[in-house]
Amino acid sequence: MKFLLGAATAAHQVEGNNKNSDFWAMENMKYSDFDEPSLDAVDHYHRYKEDIDLLKKAGLNAYRFSVEWARIEPVEGEFDLEEVKHYNEVIDYCIEQGVEPVITLHHFTSPVWVITNGGWEDERVIASFEKYVKFVIGQFGNKLHYVCTINEANMGIQITAIMKRIMKQMGLQVGLNSPLQNGQPEKQEELAKIFNLPVGVVPNIFLAPKTEKGDDIIMRAHQAAVKVIKAQFPEIKVGVTLSLHDVQVVDDSPEAAQQAEKEWNAEFKHYLPYIENDDFIGVQNYTRSLISANGQETAPKDSKLTQMGYEVYPEALEHVIRCVAKDFHQEILVTENGIGTSDDEQRQEFIRVATEGVKHCIEDGIPVKAYFHWSLLDNFEWHKGYSKTFGLIEVDRKTQKRYPKESLTVLGKVGNKLFKM
């Protein structure tokens, strides 16, 4: 198969009206901590043909998107065939246009009933996810070459690490029910009602801080998904995606080296036993992490920052791919790489540097098979709402009119030149 050059989205962030999901419920709370609710998002659910056409016209040949568990199984054990039909139509349209569909089975959001049942810290989610995956793959697996089981399976552990740093500064202990998570009493009462939980217990959504047990549960859910996919369609290439920083040591002390090794082990290496039989790994990288003897350092003073507040550093992608390839010897797909910025010239330069780094890796024999830019569309950036712009296509949410940015054209031209598609 030729090199896959594309862009990525996530169902909840672009489709709109994902009303049976945990995030929809939390966005629409009276005491929500979201800046705004997703509502119609960018209406990709109804406008996917227009968006795929724009992707294709720019010279891209692949589209990574997620299918939404909360749409397909809104009630435990009840599968919505109309929603299955919708995703079949999206896949079919990709294929008709010569665009390779690469699907993700879980991208952060879950049905409300999953969280009521204990969420991603409860063993039962493994069997629930397995049943969902078995059903979904049975519906359209014959049309797919690549499937990502879980998006950024390590995100909960990363969130835990961030909270530990904050809580340490505050002189507090971190846990699943820490003050940072609990918030005001009114919010806790509302969460308890939505998810049918005792007041004060934090819902174990996918993006909640994870214990070691929760981390293990997520990876065993991934393994269960791989097994049921391979049982039905052994030819499909299956993998998981991980959020990975370019971990760099900034001083010569042994303490800094130990801290960096610990961080890389937490983000990547301890997952190797879970993924050793996978066909590929999805690498998702946005920036670097600077480590000294004192721990994680802030970006250099002269650094440019993204809208999300971290350093603009497109060189990180090449470094991460090389680090991953030392221990993982199957295919590597760059399933996300991008920049939140209102400056599209900055995005264009980011693309040039990042894709050049991918090319260097391929030239050195590393089996990188795809580059997906995040994101195809400006979209709902979770708690930040619509204020952060990662997209190659701008969307006027009042009219839902699409305005392709020059960066979309640049990605197509640069990618086709570098990867000789």
* Cα(25)–Cα(21) distance, integer angstroms: 7
pTM: 0.96
Q: Is 301 exposed, middle or buried (0-12, 13-18, 19+ CB in 10 A)?
A: exposed
Q: Render each residue's pLDDT in the chain as its tens digit; 421 residues.
A: 899 999 999 999 999 999 999 999 999 999 999 999 999 999 999 999 999 999 999 999 999 999 999 999 999 999 999 999 999 999 999 999 999 999 999 999 999 999 999 999 999 999 999 999 999 999 999 999 999 999 999 999 999 887 776 656 555 444 444 443 445 889 999 999 999 999 988 899 999 999 999 999 999 999 999 999 999 999 999 999 999 999 999 999 999 999 999 999 999 999 999 999 999 999 999 999 999 998 899 999 999 999 999 999 999 999 999 999 999 999 999 999 999 999 999 999 999 999 999 999 999 999 999 999 999 999 999 999 999 999 999 999 999 999 999 999 999 999 999 998 6
For 334, phi and psi rounded to 5 degrees?
-80, 100
Are 118 and 160 within 8 A, CB to CB? no
Are 374 and 14 within 8 A, CB to CB? no
Catalytic residue among 68, 73, 100, 152: 152
CATH of 4-245+268-287+309-419, one of 3.10.520.10, 3.20.20.80, 3.80.10.10, 3.40.50.150: 3.20.20.80
Angle between helices 316-327 and 344-363 (to 10 degrees): 30
Domain boundaries along the sequence of the chain: 4-245+268-287+309-419
Active site residue 363: no
